[in-house]
Structures are given as C-alpha cells and as structure tokens.
C-alpha cells in the first residue's frame, strides 16, 4: 500500500539556497477536499500528476499518484477550487545526504516557505539542517489543501 510519511518544518533563513537545485514551478488545485481524502491535480514544470491522499494519521497517509497528460491537467485545473496553489519547489541536500523539498509559495501564500522530508517510517532518524525552524507536521494549516481554502495571507 503506498504510504506517504513526511515531516514539515518552517524555513528560518536562506542558508538552504547554496545547495538547492534550480527549482520547478508548480501549480496545483483540488477537485475534492475532505477530512477523509483530497484529490489534487498538479502541473509540475512540463509534467502533470493526479494525486489522491487519504486521511492523515500522525505523519502518515495513503497516497496514490499518477502521471496524466498535460492538456488534461490544464483542463482539470480550470475545474478546481480557487485559488490555485502556486509555488516553486527546490530540492536541497540535507547535512546527512537526505533530500529535502522546499516549497516557496506565491500568490495568496506568498511569504511562506516550508521544508519537507519524506521518510521510510515514522521513527526514521534524520539530521535537521540549520535553516530548518519550527516543526509544523501536525499543524493542519500548513497542509496544501488547507492553504487553498485559508491562504497564508489571511492568518
């Protein structure tokens, strides 16, 4: 069963930029959001993905993701709840060699930068980079589906 296990942290400084890749623009929208599931369409550069996530339990949840035709994704994004989530995702090597994903949000969520690390299990050890700040894994305000309905600029 495909399971996503991730921890999220706010970013407290720009020290991550020295080891980041060039970044990939992402536009995503939600066709369905509920406590039990989210159905998301994402344009990630020139690729497109359809994603279904189950209810979060701790820091884990079921996740199914499928590549779809870019033209289909663009049509589906027009059907999504507004506003769409817009961000640039950077891949950054952590101090122990783990890869972190840093999302620099735009639009209604401008000013928010969140770092995520995906883990093999909930107890997996990892080194926290010095640019990582407060952990927000259990704060649902930082779930992308919630940033859609309650953008960062409204907090």
Helices (H), 5-138: 70-79
- 28 beta partners: 42, 85
- Report whether 33 contacts 145 (CB < 8 A): yes
State the DSSP string of 57-76.
BTTEEEEEEEE--HHHHHHH
| Torsion sign over Cα 129, 155, 89, 32 | positive
Task: From residue 98, give the alpha-carbon distance in Å to each of 77, 101, 111, 125.
Answer: 32, 10, 25, 10
- Nearest-CA neighbor of 98 among 69, 78, 75, 118? 118
The one catalytic residue among 30, 66, 142, 152 = 30
Q: Is 30 a catalytic residue?
A: yes
Any idea which residues carry the catalytic annotation?
30
């Amino acid at each position: 069963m495909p399971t996503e296990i991730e921890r999220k942290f706010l970013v407290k400084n720009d020290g991550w930029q020295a080891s980041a890749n060039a970044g990939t623009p992402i536009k995503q929208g939600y066709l369905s959001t509920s406590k039990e599931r989210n159905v998301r369409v994402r344009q990630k550069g020139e690729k497109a993905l359809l994603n279904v996530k189950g209810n979060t339990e701790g820091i884990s949840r079921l996740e199914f993701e499928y590549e779809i035709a870019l033209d289909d994704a663009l049509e589906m994004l027009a059907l999504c709840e507004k506003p769409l989530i817009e961000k640039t995702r950077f891949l950054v090597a952590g101090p122990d060699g783990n890869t972190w994903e840093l999302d620099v949000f735009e639009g209604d969520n401008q000013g928010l930068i969140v770092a995520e690390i995906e883990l093999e299990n909930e107890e997996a050890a990892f080194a926290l980079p010095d640019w990582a700040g407060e952990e927000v894994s259990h704060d649902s305000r930082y779930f992308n589906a919630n940033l859609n309905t309650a953008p960062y600029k409204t907090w």
